[in-house]
């Protein structure tokens, strides 16, 4: 086996936490390396919404919002609760205190974020903020990456849209803002198509900015370089074995190794071993390289794992060819004139709650698939997934993706739903809608839920009767944007054994770890925010330990 180059710190994977870790090393005068097994960089972060959940940020202060680490901790304690060894009080405290510092550090190098004005998902809980802590990246022209412009991971549904979630909610909600927003997005599409720009939003904007920072700092990034084993000396991880250009190389990194290689969403064997049934590796939005090898390698070294049965669930629907037709958050399912039922025709959850919690309830109710039921009022007013209002392509009916019928009984027959159960649930739902109170599940009772409704609808912006034919249905599956179980780490992002002792030289961040958010989704950006923060923490800790050794 050939001896490769020597670096101070090697980062396995190129998702959100990798560039902050690399830049922290550069700032300490050290030499980092980012390796990526795929030909494209950015991992699932580049395919994501690109949001960061950052407590006490300068952006919140500029928006006139009061926040502090202590307030954020109250919120996490209330929402996350006791979530096991991946979300200890020490890790939560490290996150809320270091996240704003990490962001300021990256902003000094050129990262640009702005307040998303997205409510915390449980804003009614102690410490919650109705305007939210989520930040979105400034749109970015990928042409600024030069030769790397075509090497960023893409999501087939969202990456070509030069916008972000803070704008798209206006498209989804209707009213005059829809048309103004669509005109703005259309102008950017024109610039991309006819003027040669490659303006991107979402995760492409975030990761485009981050890699622009890394490339300017001459951080080496090796693609098509797959880690296959660790090098251990005297009980300490000091390097990694990789396969690159058909050769096996030993790469040394005396300060340590950071695993930021994603979870195991695309590994069917691991999903079947750990996750609720039915399990699938086809419903995920994670990148194709999200296959869990580095989690398993860390376990071979003695690392503890936790939350392996959990994922960042995001209900999805799929076209007949298996491609994603829509990601259905509260912005879709929490609008008036729509409800979600199981095969018995019964509602089983509040459709306007966090997408992660809704996915959990789908499994708990044995509602896989579930069915979104909506009427022509909904079709005229609101988007559903990628289907714009008033535009219902006949090909979607012919392919079977979208069911359509003149009566709810006929619709139930097409979907294999109990017609009596659907009739009863619809009657009850319509009664709640007219009265403005969801007596079964409390839909529309929080700021987050109401923000995803239609403010023009009273008395409850999330409720409207399902009564106008033709009626429609779409099968909904418990998709995800990544698994959230993995290596247990401490407040310095060090990998831990089951007895709580540290594996020297081995760090981990992102969805390779048991998330600090436990089994909850407190707000937009709670996956990438911790990934970037604990990557930054890991690198600073590794540099300091070496300097004082």
Mean pLDDT of 301-307: 98
Give the pLDDT score at 444. 97
| Dihedral-angle region of residue 436 (phi above 0 means left; psi in -120 to 50 means alpha; beta otherwise) | left
d(CA 417, CA 414): 8
Task: Report yes or no: 307 and 518 within 8 Å, Cβ to Cβ.
Answer: yes
From the list 90, 202, 79, the residue with the least C-alpha distance to 129 is 79
Whole-number percent of the chain with pLDDT over 90: 86
Mean pLDDT of 93-121: 97
Mean pLDDT of 114-128: 95
Exposed (0-12), middle (13-18) or buried (19+): which is 108, by Cβ within 10 Å? Answer: exposed
**Does residue 219 register a pLDDT over 70?**
yes
Give the pLDDT score at 549. 40
What is the tally of helices (H) and strands (E) in the chain? 18, 25
Task: Report yes or no: 529 and 120 within 8 Å, Cβ to Cβ.
Answer: no
Q: Which residues contact 255 (CB under 8 A, 6 or more apart)?
A: 8, 9, 25, 30, 505, 542, 543, 545, 546
Q: State if pTM tops 0.85.
A: yes
Give the pLDDT score at 366. 98
d(CA 537, CA 543): 10
Task: Report yes or no: 287 and 36 within 8 Å, Cβ to Cβ.
Answer: no
Q: Which of 75-84, 196-205, 219-228, 327-336 has the lowest mean pLDDT?
A: 196-205
Give the pLDDT score at 187. 77
Mean pLDDT of 32-54: 95
- β-partners of residue 258 are 11, 507
d(CA 522, CA 529): 12
Mean pLDDT of 1-28: 92
Give tens-digit pLDDT for 326-381. 999 999 999 999 999 999 999 999 999 999 999 999 999 999 999 999 999 999 99
Pick the residue with more confidence: 105 or 188?
A: 105
Whether the upstream peptide bond of residue 503 has omega within 30° of 0, thus cis, is no
Q: Start-end ranges of CATH 3.50.50.60 in the chain?
A: 1-141+202-314+481-549
Give the pLDDT score at 174. 66
Q: Which residues contact 285 (CB under 8 A, 6 or more apart)?
A: 44, 47, 48, 155, 314, 316, 324, 327, 479, 480, 481, 482
Class of domain 315-478: alpha beta
d(CA 445, CA 431): 17
Whole-number percent of the chain with pLDDT over 70: 96
Q: Where are the alpha helices (DSSP H) in 275-372?
A: 293-300, 330-333, 355-364
Q: Which residues contact 111 (CB under 8 A, 6 or more apart)?
A: 103, 137, 209, 210, 213
Task: Report yes or no: 292 and 263 within 8 Å, Cβ to Cβ.
Answer: yes
Q: Which residues contact 473 (CB under 8 A, 6 or more apart)?
A: 371, 372, 373, 374, 402, 403, 411, 414, 415, 417
Give the pLDDT score at 204. 93
| Dihedral-angle region of residue 88 (phi above 0 means left; psi in -120 to 50 means alpha; beta otherwise) | beta
β-pairing, 247-253 with 2-7?
parallel
**Does residue 167 register a pLDDT over 70?**
no
Mean pLDDT of the chain: 94
Task: Report yes or no: 472 and 400 within 8 Å, Cβ to Cβ.
Answer: no
Task: Name the pLDDT band for 548 (thresholds 50, 70, 90).
Answer: very low
Task: Name the pLDDT band for 293 (thresholds 50, 70, 90).
Answer: very high
**Does residue 395 register a pLDDT over 60?**
yes
Name the 3-class secondary structure at 538.
Answer: helix
d(CA 83, CA 92): 11
d(CA 239, CA 244): 15
Give the pLDDT score at 479. 97
Give tens-digit pLDDT for 488-537. 999 999 999 999 999 999 999 999 999 999 999 999 999 999 999 999 99
d(CA 219, CA 250): 19
Cα end-to-end span (Å), the chain: 30
**Does residue 58 register a pLDDT over 90?**
yes
**Does residue 182 register a pLDDT over 50?**
yes
CATH number for the segment(s) 1-141+202-314+481-549? 3.50.50.60
Give the pLDDT score at 422. 98
Q: Start-end ranges of CATH 3.90.700.10 in the chain?
A: 315-478
Q: Which of 40-44, 95-99, 151-155 has the lowest mean pLDDT?
A: 151-155
**Does residue 176 register a pLDDT over 60?**
yes
């Amino acid at each position: 086996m050939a001896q490769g180059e020597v670096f101070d710190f090697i980062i396995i994977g190129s998702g959100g936490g990798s560039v902050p870790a690399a830049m922290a090393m550069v700032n300490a005068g050290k030499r980092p390396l980012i390796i990526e097994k795929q030909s494209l960089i950015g991992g699932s972060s580049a395919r994501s919404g690109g949001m960061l959940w950052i407590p006490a940020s300068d952006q919140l202060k500029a928006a006139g919002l009061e926040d502090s680490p202590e307030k954020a901790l109250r919120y996490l304690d209330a929402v996350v609760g006791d979530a096991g060894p991946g979300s200890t009080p020490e890790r939560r405290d490290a996150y809320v205190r270091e996240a704003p510092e990490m962001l300021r550090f990256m902003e000094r190098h050129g990262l640009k974020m702005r307040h998303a004005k997205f409510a915390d998902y449980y804003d009614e809980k102690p410490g919650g903020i109705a305007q939210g802590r989520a930040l979105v990246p400034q749109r970015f022209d990928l042409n600024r990456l030069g030769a790397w412009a075509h090497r960023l991971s893409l999501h087939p549904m969202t990456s070509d849209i030069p916008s972000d979630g803070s704008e798209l909610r206006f498209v989804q909600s209707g009213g005059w803002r829809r048309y103004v927003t669509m005109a703005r997005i259309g102008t950017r599409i024109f610039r991309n198509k006819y003027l040669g720009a490659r303006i991107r939003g979402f995760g492409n904007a975030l990761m485009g900015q981050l890699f622009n920072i890394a490339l300017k700092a001459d951080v080496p990034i090796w693609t098509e370089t797959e880690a296959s084993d660790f090098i251990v000396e005297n009980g300490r991880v000091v390097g990694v074995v990789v396969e690159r250009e058909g050769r096996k190389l030993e790469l040394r990194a005396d300060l340590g190794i950071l695993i930021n290689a994603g979870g195991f969403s695309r590994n069917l064997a691991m999903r079947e071993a750990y996750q609720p049934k039915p399990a699938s590796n086809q419903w995920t939005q994670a990148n194709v390289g999200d296959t869990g090898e580095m989690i398993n390698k860390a376990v071979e070294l003695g690392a503890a794992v936790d939350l392996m049965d959990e994922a960042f669930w995001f209900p999805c629907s799929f076209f007949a060819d298996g491609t994603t037709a829509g990601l259905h958050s509260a912005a879709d399912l929490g609008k008036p004139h729509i409800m979600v039922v199981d095969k018995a025709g019964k509602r089983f959850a509040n459709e306007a709650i966090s997408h992660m919690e809704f996915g959990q309830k789908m499994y708990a109710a044995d509602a896989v698939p579930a069915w979104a039921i909506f009427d022509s009022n909904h079709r005229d007013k609101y988007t559903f997934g990628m289907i714009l209002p008033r535009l219902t392509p006949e090909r979607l009916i012919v392919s079977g993706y979208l069911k359509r019928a003149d009566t709810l009984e006929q619709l139930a027959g097409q979907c294999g739903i109990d017609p009596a159960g659907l009739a009863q649930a619809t009657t009850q739902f319509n009664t709640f809608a007219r009265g403005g109170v969801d007596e079964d599940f409390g839909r529309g009772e929080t700021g987050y839920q109401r923000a995803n409704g239609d403010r023009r609808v009273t008395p409850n912006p999330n409720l409207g009767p399902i009564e106008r034919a033709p009626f429609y249905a779409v099968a909904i599956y418990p998709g995800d944007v990544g698994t959230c179980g993995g290596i247990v780490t401490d407040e310095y992002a060090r990998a831990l054994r089951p007895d709580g002792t540290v594996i020297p030289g081995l760090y981990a961040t992102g969805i390779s770890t048991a998330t600090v958010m436990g089994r909850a989704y407190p707000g937009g950006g709670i996956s990438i925010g911790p990934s970037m923060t604990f990557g930054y923490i890991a690198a600073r800790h590794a540099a300091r330990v070496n300097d004082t050794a």
